[in-house]
Amino acid sequence: MRSEVYQHIRNQPELHRFLRYNPRWYRILSRNPFALQQMEREAKVFYGKTFPQRMDRLQNNMNLAMMMLEMMRQFKPN
């Protein structure tokens, strides 16, 4: 693997961890260093950092908060 590609990966801990979890990327990047952007996209999906994944997480948190508010409203003494 090219030293500048490896240095770029080492500077980003999540990418480095992703590379450790998916060793096939060592071989891919050694043969084609321009596949780094593809690896970064896959890492975003792996860590849930894509926009749709973030929106799903936000929606789940909002649903949880609404459910808790509804429960508090039911237990509120009149």
Could you please report the per-residue DSSP string of 60-71?
HHHHHHHHHHHH
pLDDT digits (tens, 9 = 90+) for 22-66: 999 999 999 999 999 999 999 999 999 999 999 999 999 999 999
Mean local confidence (pLDDT), 63-77: 91
74's tokens: 């039911």
Q: Is the pLDDT of residue 78 over 90?
A: no
Q: How far is CA 22 from the centre of its chain?
A: 14
